[in-house]
Amino acid sequence: MKLKDIQTFVVGNPPPHHGGRYFVFVKLTTDDNISGLGEAYCVPFHPDLVARMLEDVFGRHLAGQEPHAIESIWRRVYSSGFTQHPDLTLVGVLSALEMACWDIVGKAAGQPVYQLLGGRVHERLRTYTYIYPRAGESEAVYHDADLSAERAVEYLKQGFTAIKFDPAGAYGAFDGRQLSLEALDRCERFMRQLRAAVGNKMDLLFGTHGQMTAAGAIRLARRIEPYDPLWLEEPVPPDSPEESAVVARATSVPIATGERLTTKYDFGRLLRVGGAAILQLNLGRVGGILEAKKIAGMAEVQHVQIAPHLYCGPVVGAANIQLATCSPNFLILEGIERWQGFHADILKKPVEWQDGYVIPPKAPGLGVELNEEVARRHPYQGTKLHLGMADEPVR
């Protein structure tokens, strides 16, 4: 069995764009007509160029190769062009291609990927979602603690036992910084009102996006500590795990981070300095499924847990599910609400979600199939990237 063909799909994510402006999917097919899916997360170039990158790397390093040769393929791609460095672009492309190989391997074996990585550990996977605006609603929910508390109660009634929100405000290219007193007050108010609304029935996950210096993050952590959040997310920029460790040592709130890190080398550095209690690896960026399993194993040695990150499409979500199912140190899985809407429409069969939990699939491979007709009906026609940041200093 040899890898023969590649197809790419650049799919515009319709409004309200939860999960990003677009998704970049790849489909690899072998010479005996077994196909596998992958998805690249947030590669910082226009998605049409990312599709070309996928085709280029496939042609150089995967075409004609045995899809089971994941370790060899991984090392060749990781080292291509004299790199051997955790490069976000190259490894994002590699992640999608590696993921598709695993989908093929699972289908050829007639087994879900998690069965090939040690077997099922968890019968169901606890999930969380951001607090999102209702259909047609403005983004006031991100700034209004009363409205967010109302929405948290609605999510609780749906079955969620954890909710994430990020009231700290804008984040930009010139961070980290000190949050204003107004922002600190707003953050504390969110924690107080959401905790009052849901009591001890939900974990509260406090999201930030690297806005702060370590000193600024410690100020925020002291404000929210009394309300016992499950984590404080990415308090400092991702380029300095040592500063994340400074925050971790100064607060009782668990630090979660990792969505902007890639490969075991980035995560190894983070673990060595004690920079996080929870790793938020995104399988469309981290280097793929096997690399993620290695990182989970490294974390397990230090009793650090994993909470796979998802702000993209459902193919990365499916890979996250495979990893979570076979990982003893799995904590919780990010989803886009209940995995419904366009995230379900783009698949032939949606991810199974019941009362706050994802049920791992029993189908072989990743357990999902792309609805290619829907994908082709939604081409991305914009110029903006998947996600962005303020390009001027935030005041």
- Active site (catalytic) residues: 209, 309
Which ranges constitute the DSSP H helices of the chain? 47-57, 70-78, 88-109, 113-116, 145-158, 181-198, 214-224, 241-250, 263-272, 289-301, 314-325, 342-345, 372-377
Q: Which amino acid is at 282?
A: N
Q: Which residue has the tokens 């995104």?
A: 282
Distance in angstroms (rounded) separating the CA atoms of residues 326 and 10: 30
Chain centroid offset of residue 348 CA = 22
Burial class (CB in 10 A: 0-12, 13-18, 19+), 73: buried
User: DSSP letter at 62?
Assistant: I
- Give the whole-angstrom CA distance, residue 113 versus residue 99: 10
The dihedral formed by the CA atoms of 263, 267, 269 and 273, expressed in degrees to the nearest 10: 180
Three-class SS of 271-284: HHCCCCCEECCCCC
User: What's the rounded Cα separation, in Å, for the pair 166 and 130?
Assistant: 9
DSSP string, 5-36: EEEEEEEE--TT-TT-SEEEEEEEEETT--EE
What is the dihedral sign for C-alpha 267, 268, 269, 273?
A: positive
3-state DSSP of 187-252: HHHHHHHHHHHHCCCCEEEEECCCCECHHHHHHHHHHHHHHCCCEEECCCCCCCHHHHHHHHHHCC
41 in Cβ contact with 27 (< 8 Å): no
| Contact indicator for 9, 375 with CB cutoff of 8 Å | yes
Q: What's the rounded Cα separation, in Å, for the pair 92 and 182? A: 37
